[in-house]
Amino acid sequence: MTDGIAIPATSKQLAEVAFNADGLVPVIAQDIQNGDVLMMAWMNRESLEMTFAEGRMVYWSRSRQELWRKGDTSGDRQFVREAYFDCDADTLLFKVEQEGAGACHTGARTCFFRPFG
Amino acid sequence: MTDGIAIPATSKQLAEVAFNADGLVPVIAQDIQNGDVLMMAWMNRESLEMTFAEGRMVYWSRSRQELWRKGDTSGDRQFVREAYFDCDADTLLFKVEQEGAGACHTGARTCFFRPFG
């Protein structure tokens, strides 16, 4: 059964994350099964800590200005398997198991389904 | 020989890109060979148009406040092979051929080389 497994991020690592002026950091969710980039969204410190504790992606919705526990409404949760920060710690990458139909509110597997050109 | 191939993005598609209040859009570069997420950076409209025209990643450097033709200094250019915008057109995904050692200024192949936990 798919379930959340906590990520043991250290307080030193958490302190290193460079949130922007709005207290947010961009987060990329990548499908650990096939490598597809599923979506990009934002986390604040609280949602990042919830994500590590629950092993499940919890974003900050900028449009609704509230915690966004991905999949609570749609059922399409994202379970964290690996988490990385980049060289200057201002962008995060999470490799996830995507539950259900997909990451996108349109029903698509990935939000990046529209090619240029 | 690796080279840039222009991406025929339409003016309708370009008009749809949702730049933020600073006139920037976050851009994810993914290695088309192995699916690794290489880096996330920003483009303004001018650098996006240059990227499509040259078939080569041109970012906007927020720290230097200037166009950043990736690889001009390091030699590690990124050639565009596919380009996507997401469902709400406020994040872009480029699948690229990464030249040289890698995307990261540290010399790493990807900027996301530091795991949490």
Residue B115 lies in a domain: no
Confidence at residue B1, expressed as pLDDT on a 0 to 100 scale: 44
Q: What does the DSSP assignment read for A59-82?
A: EEETTTTEEEETTTTTS--EEEEE
Q: What is the pLDDT of residue B13?
A: 97
Count the domains in chain B.
Answer: 1
- Domain extent, residue A47, equals 11-98
Within a domain: B110: no
Within-domain flag for B65: yes
List the strands of the sheet with B78-85, edge to edge. Answer: A114-115, B78-85, B92-98, B25-31, B37-43
Query: What pLDDT does B61 receive?
Result: 97
| Any domain includes A76 | yes
CA-based nearest distance B26→chain A, Å: 9
Percentage above 70 pLDDT, chain B: 98
Nearest CA in chain B to A104: B87
Per residue in B7-41, pLDDT (tens digit) is 999 999 999 999 999 999 999 999 999 999 999 99
B60 vs B51: CA distance, rounded Å: 11
State the CB neighbour count (10 A cutoff) for residue A94: 23
Nearest to B115 among A82, A105, A108 (CB): A82
Distance from CA of A92 to the nearest CA of B (A): 8
Take residue B89 and report the two structure tokens written for it. Answer: 């057109």
Specify if B3 maps to a domain: no
Each residue's pLDDT tens digit, B67-87: 999 999 888 999 999 999 999
Arithmetic mean of pLDDT over chain B:
95
The answer to whether residue A55 sits within a structural domain is yes
Domain presence at residue A75: yes
Residue A91's CATH number: 3.10.20.810
A2 in a domain, yes or no?
no
Residues of chain A where predicted confidence (pLDDT) is lower than 50: 1
Which pLDDT does position A74 carry in this prediction? 87
H or E element that contains B54: helix B45-54
- Residue B79's pLDDT is 97
